[in-house]
Chain A
Amino acid sequence: MTHILSFTLNGAPVQALVKTSDSLLDVLREKLDVTSPKRGCDSGDCGACTVMLEGKAVRACLTCALTVEGKQVVTVEGLSHNGKLQPLQEAFVSHGGSQCGFCTSGMLVSATALLAKNPHPQRHEIAQEMSGNLCRCGCYEEITQAILDTARKGD
């Protein structure tokens, strides 16, 4: 069974022909060619596909595509404006918050959602809020520093 799905992606209206069984990740990657959310585990464990849905960080692989009808979805492509990186993205670069880069999109989305909710997080709050995003290269400390630095400069 196929449906026409309409929602707002990074500020622009989009439409896609989707199957009932498609996840939001399937639609973003395969139908709309938005490839920053990564298919790390496809089972909600790794966080590499994290996107913002109505301002909240969600796993695109566990989100049934049809449930985003009419809603706002933001991916990393939508974080920078006119090619200008956001302070959090700049901080990831300067602190070495990425090595292979495969987890980076999901990390940035989760961290953006965290800072929106809590502009001055403590270390333990960052560890708690970011615990659903795995990095196998081992950049956790650098990512934590990047988030703390962004929060400090946001004053």
Chain B
Amino acid sequence: MNQYIGKAMPRYDAQGQVSGKVRYVDDIKVPGMKCVKVLRSPVHKGVIRGLDFSKAMAVPGVVGFVTAQDIPGKNAYGRFQDMPVLAPDNRVRYRGEPIAAVVAVDQDTALEALSLVEMDIEEQTPVFDMFEAMKPGAPLVRHDSKSNLWVHYPPDITEVTMVKGQVDQGMAQADQVIEGRYSTGVQDHVPMESNVSVAYRDEMGRLVIHTVSQTIYAHLGMLCAILAMPMSQIRYIGGQVGGAFGGKNDIHTDHIAALAVLKFGYPVKYRLTREEDLQFTTKRGAFVLDFKTGVKKDGRLTACRIDIWHDTGAYAGMSPYGLEKCAMFAPGPYDFPHIKVTARTIFTNRPISSSMRGFSVINGQVASEIHMNRVAEALGMDPWELRFVNAWRDGDHGVTGYKVRGAGALEAMKKAAELAGIKLPEKLMSMSSRGRQAS
């Protein structure tokens, strides 16, 4: 073991990468392989009144269509099991929602077939803004729900609340209270490799799926539920991923490729073009965060009140889980005696939000750090000093009561100052994360 510690080792697959030998999923070719493409909703919200495949089926080279009726198991997947594989009840809730899949000899034929599907769709009024979506009487993204708020704790609790101490008492002790609203936008992961699956039956009759999943065992379980197959009948082969960054934490192509194999028996490839990948895969969702911070004249923080709104789009993805992470860490690595955080996940008719690098924690951090600068400005205090005075020391407690161990913000800031050539006052340099009394 010791021969590896402290040494830079070459990547285990670097030799293959630099010689062009590594096989990614899109590099796999199976004899007789057909192409899968998906018919998607052209509207942000609507009810499908009629769907006629007859003209599309007449195109030479078209094998057939897969619809929700062809799903042997559950037409739902995801961490919260709320994303349909193919529109289950003739309703679509975001532009690009999958409705049916075509299987054809090649991509040109598949695209021609999709252009000939006759779809009668009744467009309904969508809602795109979280605050509009929360108003009484707003159009419902999910027609069978009571409101556009995700129920975090059944039967009806839609708010995540985290409390430490008495926030009102903390605000009353403050010399100044500083407020601010911050918002972060939607982002795509854009890995170099777009989502793709190759699927076929092997000689034992087992279903083989070559996947770009970054969450392979969770996805295998979801596929078993969708396909109503035991794990022993699915060979789920992954590991060679051309970048993911959280975007391949949700299934985008495996389920539909697998359904095509089950229905028609041919090997298939289902690959998203760059345009499809950008438009239709999960995103980092938008956040709005309100901060209200109480502070003493000497810079000691007394209280923090945070309100968070998170836009998850038309389905939950992993957003409710990400929201809890955001709420837990939004106060930042600072010691507040009193904190209250309230957070909600809201449905809109936008693309589905789910995980992306840092997993919603950083959306809170962006707001928290900008707000800390504002607090420093209001006090007329150096922003470094405000952070040094309040940074977590060992033994401090976070909002959910967790105890901080191995705190390192002060040491990181000292090192950053050194590398940036900034000379910090001795008062700050003498502080340590090992305890507050040292300062």
B248 to chain A, nearest CB (A): 11
Q: Which residues of B contact A100 (CB under 8 A)?
A: 191-193, 241-244
Task: Determine the residue in chain A with the shortest Cβ distance to B192.
Answer: A102
Q: Is the CB of A98 within 8 A of B192?
A: no
A33's nearest neighbour on chain B, judged by CB, is B29
Residues of B within 8 A of A24 (CB): none
Q: A43-B274, A85-B15 are in contact. Are A96 and B27 (CB under 8 A)?
A: no
Which of A63-71, A75-83, A124-132, A147-155 lies at the interface with chain B? A75-83
- The distance in angstroms between the C-alpha atoms of A75 and B382, with both chains bound, is 55
Query: Which of chain A's residues have a CB closer than 8 A to the CB of B243?
Result: 99-100, 102, 136-137
- Contact partner, B27, options A35, A77, A79, A134, Cβ 8 Å: A35
Instruction: Assess the A39–B13 pair: CB atoms within 8 A.
Output: no
A41 to B188, CA, bound (A): 14
Minimum CB–CB distance from A104 to chain B (whole Å) comes to: 5
Residue from the list A89, A90, A101, A108 in contact with B242, Cβ < 8 A: A101
In the complex, what's the smallest C-beta–C-beta distance from A111 to chain B, in angstroms? 11
Contacts of A43 in B (CB 8 A): 274
Complex interface: chain A residues within 8 A of B10 (CB):
93-94, 96
Instruction: Return the contact of A46 from the options B13, B17, B192 (Cβ within 8 A).
Output: B192
Q: Is A9 an interface residue (CB 8 A)?
A: no
B18 near A77 with CB under 8 A, answer no
Chain B residues with CB below 8 A from A48, complex form: 192
Are B191 and A89 in contact, with the CB atoms below 8 A? no
Q: Does B421 contact A (CB under 8 A)?
A: no
Assess whether A89 is in contact with B245, with CB atoms less than 8 Å apart.
Answer: no
Q: CA separation between A97 and B10, bound complex, in Å?
A: 10
Q: Is A103 an interface residue (CB 8 A)?
A: yes
Of B24, B189, B243, B273, most buried by chain A (CB within 10 Å of CB) is B243
Closest Cβ of chain A to B266, distance in Å, is 17
A38 within 8 A of B: yes
Number of A-B residue pairs, CB cutoff 8 Å, is 91
Does A93 lie within 8 Å of B242, measured CB to CB?
no
Is A135 on the interface with B (CB-CB < 8 A)? Answer: yes
- Chain B interface helix/strand/loop/mixed: loop
Task: Indicate with 1 or 0, residue by residue over B19-35, a CB within 8 angstroms of chain A CB atoms.
Answer: 11011101101000000
Q: Is A36 an interface position by the 8 A CB rule?
A: yes
Chain B residues with Cβ under 8 A from A96's Cβ? 8, 10-11, 14
A104 and B18 contact, CB distance less than 8 A: yes
- Chain A nearest Cβ from B281, distance in angstroms: 14
- Per-position 1/0 for B240-253, Cβ under 8 A of A: 01111100000000
Whether A102 pairs with B18 at a CB distance below 8 angstroms is: no
Q: Is B134 positioned at the interface, with any CB of A under 8 Å from its CB? A: no
B47 close to chain A: CB less than 8 A: no
Q: Is the CB of B245 within 8 A of A136?
A: yes
Tell whether B163 is near chain A: CB-to-CB under 8 Å. no
The answer to whether residues A92 and B192 also contact, given A35-B23, A101-B242, A102-B242 and a CB cut-off of 8 A, is no
Greatest chain B CB density within 10 A among A42, A46, A48, A136 is at A136
A23 interface residue per 8 A CB criterion: no
Q: How far is the CB of A22 from chain B (nearest CB, A)?
A: 11
User: Does A110 touch B at the CB level, under 8 Å?
Assistant: no
Contacts of B27 in A (CB 8 A): 29, 35
CB pair B192–A40 under 8 Å, yes or no, is: yes
A-facing mask of B253-283, CB < 8 A → 1, else 0? 0000000000000000000011000000000
Tell whether A50 is near chain B: CB-to-CB under 8 Å: no
The answer to whether A144 has its CB under 8 Å from any CB of chain B is no
Contact A136 B192, beta carbon cutoff 8 Å: yes
Does B18 contact A108, Cβ atoms closer than 8 Å? Answer: yes
Whether A38 lies near B242 (C-beta < 8 A) is yes
B190 within 8 A of A: yes
- 22 A-B pairs with C-beta separation under 8 A: A35-B26, A36-B20, A38-B26, A75-B20, A76-B18, A77-B19, A85-B18, A85-B19, A92-B17, A93-B14, A96-B8, A96-B10, A96-B11, A97-B18, A98-B11, A99-B11, A100-B241, A100-B244, A101-B13, A104-B18, A136-B192, A136-B243
Q: A40-B193, A76-B18, A136-B189 are in contact. List 9 more A-B contacts (CB 8 A).
A: A29-B27, A38-B192, A40-B274, A48-B192, A77-B20, A85-B19, A90-B18, A96-B10, A101-B242
